[in-house]
Amino acid sequence: MSDVPFLSLLLLTYPVGALLIWLLPRLAAPRTLALLVHAFGLAVSLFVLGHFDSAQPGMQFAEQTAWIPSLNIHYAVGVDGISILFLPATALLFLGVTLASWNSARNLSRLYHSLLLLQAGATLGVFCATDTILFFLFWELSLVPFYFLVSLWGVGPHRGYAATKYTLVMFAGGVPLLFGFLLLAFNHADFSGAAMPGGLSFDLQTLLGMPLPAELEWAVFLLLLLGFAVKTPVFPLHTWLPLLSMEGPVAVVALLTGLKLGAYGLIRFAVPLAPEAAQSLHWLLAGLGTFGVLYGAVTALAQTNLRAMLAYASLSHVGLVLLGIASFNVQGIQGAVLQLLNFTLIAGGLFLITAFIQQRIGSTDTLSLGGAAKTMPLAASFFAFFGLASFGIPGTSGFPAELLILVSAVQTHTGAGLAALFGMVLGAAYFLNLYRRAFFGPARNASVLAATDLQARELALVLVFAAVVLAVGLYPQPLLDVIRPAAEAWVGRLG
C-alpha cells in the first residue's frame, strides 16, 4: 500500500495534465482534457481518503526525499485527519469550476485550463506539504495562475488592478511567513548545537518536538499569524477579497471563497508550532474572529451585488473558524475543520450558481436581477438551499460545524460566542434580504426574462455539491471520526 506514492501522484497529475493540454492539442478540446484530469485527481484523492486509517493521529501516506540537501530542505508530504478531507473537497471544487467555465472561457482556453490545473496542483500541495519550505513553495506558486486568471478573464473593468493588488498583498504576506519559518529553523540549529546550514530544520514533525524560547515563540506566532491572516482574510487585511470577487472571473472567485488556505495554515502551522504564545493570545484570535463575524455580516447587509455579498459573508463565516481555533478544544477544532470544508461545498456552490447567473444576465447586481426566480426557478432554489446551509440550518453540513464551534466558543469565550450567535442571525437577515431583491418581485430586465434555467451540466454539478452538503449534514459522524484523532493530538500538543 505505502510503496505507491499516492500523494505525489496526485500532485503530479495536475501539472502533467497542464502540459498535456499544450503537447497534445489534437487529442481533445482543452476543456475536455482538463475535465478528465480533474476527474482523475478527484478519483485519486477519494482513493487516498478511502485508504486513510482514521484511528491513527499521525501523518499517513508520508513521503520524504531530499530536495536541497545542503540546507536540509526536503520534499516531504503527508496527510493526517486535519488535512485529508481537504484533498477530495479541493479536487471537487476545481472540477466544479472547470465545468462552470465550460462555455465562458473561450478566449485562450488552452491557457485558461492549464492555469486552472496548475492552480489545483499548487493548492493541493499546500494541504499535503509537511516541510515548511515546500509548503511555502506551494503557497506562493498558487498565486501565479490566479494572477493571470483574474487579469485575463476577469469580468470587472479594474481586473488588472485587482490582480496586481492581490498578488502584491499575498507577496507581502509571504514575507512574515518565510521569516517565521526561518526563525524556527535557526532555533533548531541553536537547539541541536549543529553548525548553521546542516543544523537547520524545516521538517514540521521535527519542529513540533523542539522547545522554543518564550520570546522567539511569540515572534514566530505573530509572524505566522500575520502571514496567514492576510490570506484568510482576517479584518482589517481583507480588502482584496471584495475587490477580487467583483473584478475576477466569477467561477474562479469560487476558489477564493471556497478555499481558506490561511485558516488552514493557522491550524496546521501557526498554533501547533507556537502553542504557548497561541494560547496566551487566545483573546486576540477570538476577538479577531468575533469582530470578523459581525463586521462581515453588517457589511454584507449593505451590499446590492450578490458577489460582494458573498465575499463579505465569507469574511463573516471565516470569523467563526478563528473562534473555533481559539477555543483550543477538540470540538472547536473539529468544528473549525468542518467549517473550512463547508466553505468549499457551500460558498463554492453559491459562487458557482452566481457564475451561472452572471453568464446569463451579464451581471449579478440586484438592480438588473429582480424576479430571476421566474425564469430560473432551479437556480433560485439551489441558491436558497446553499444560502440556508451557509448559516447552519439543521440537515445541512453547516449545522454540525457551526454548532460545534458555537458550543465550544460559548464554553471558553462566552461573550464572543454569544456575539457570534448574533452574527449568525444577522447572516440570515442579509441573505434573505438580498435574496428577495434578486430573485423575487417583478422581472423587468429583458435578459432576465429571456434567461434559461440551469442546463443538465450545471444541474448535475450543483446536485453533487448539494448532495454532499445534505449527506454531511444528516450524518456527519464519519467525517468527525476522521478528524477526531488528529484533533485530539492537536489539542494534546498544547499541553
Where along the sequence are the contacts to other proteins (CB under 8 A)?
68-71, 107-108, 111, 133, 136-137, 140-141, 144, 147, 151-152, 160, 163-164, 167-168, 171-172, 175, 178-179, 182, 185-186, 196-197, 200
Place of cell 487516498: 48
How far is it, in rounded angstroms, from Cα 420 to Cα 405?
A: 10
Among candidate residues 26, 244, 273, 19, the one with its CA nearest the CA of residue 151: 244
How far is it, in rounded angstroms, from Cα 423 to Cα 131?
A: 37
Among candidate residues 262, 203, 224, 220, the one with its CA nearest the CA of residue 78: 203
Task: Considering the complex, state which of residue 68 and residue 214 has its C-beta at the smaller distance from other proteins.
Answer: 68
Q: Hey, CA dihedral for 93, 95, 100, 105, is it positive or negative? A: positive
- Shortest reach from residue 112's CB to other proteins, in Å: 11
- Shortest reach from residue 158's CB to other proteins, in Å: 11
- Shortest reach from residue 152's CB to other proteins, in Å: 7
Q: Which residues pair with 77 in a beta bridge?
A: 63, 129
- Shortest reach from residue 24's CB to other proteins, in Å: 16
- Shortest reach from residue 23's CB to other proteins, in Å: 12
- CA–CA distances in Å: residue 400 to residues 394, 406, 426: 8, 10, 19
Cα 338 from chain centre: 11
- Shortest reach from residue 155's CB to other proteins, in Å: 15
Task: Considering the complex, state which of residue 269 and residue 343 has its C-beta at the smaller distance from other proteins.
Answer: 269
Task: Considering the complex, state which of residue 119 and residue 257 has its C-beta at the smaller distance from other proteins.
Answer: 119
- Shortest reach from residue 400's CB to other proteins, in Å: 37
- Shortest reach from residue 139's CB to other proteins, in Å: 8
Task: Considering the complex, state which of residue 111 and residue 300 has its C-beta at the smaller distance from other proteins.
Answer: 111
Task: Considering the complex, state which of residue 2 and residue 65 has its C-beta at the smaller distance from other proteins.
Answer: 65
- Shortest reach from residue 175's CB to other proteins, in Å: 5
The angle formed by the CA atoms of residues 300, 303 and 305, to the nearest 5 degrees, is 120
Buried b (16+ CB within 10 A) or exposed e, 392-405: beeebbbbbbbbbb
60-68 vs 73-79, strand pairing mode: antiparallel
- Shortest reach from residue 133's CB to other proteins, in Å: 8
For residue 474, count other CB atoms closer than 10 A to its CB.
Answer: 13
Task: Considering the complex, state which of residue 196 and residue 471 has its C-beta at the smaller distance from other proteins.
Answer: 196
Task: Considering the complex, state which of residue 27 and residue 172 has its C-beta at the smaller distance from other proteins.
Answer: 172
- Shortest reach from residue 12's CB to other proteins, in Å: 13
Task: Considering the complex, state which of residue 118 and residue 336 has its C-beta at the smaller distance from other proteins.
Answer: 118
Residue 349 contacts by C-beta under 8 Å, 6 or more apart in sequence?
Answer: 96, 382, 386, 462, 465, 466, 469
- Shortest reach from residue 74's CB to other proteins, in Å: 12
Task: Considering the complex, state which of residue 171 and residue 475 has its C-beta at the smaller distance from other proteins.
Answer: 171
For residue 452, count other CB atoms closer than 10 A to its CB.
Answer: 9
Task: Considering the complex, state which of residue 226 and residue 321 has its C-beta at the smaller distance from other proteins.
Answer: 226
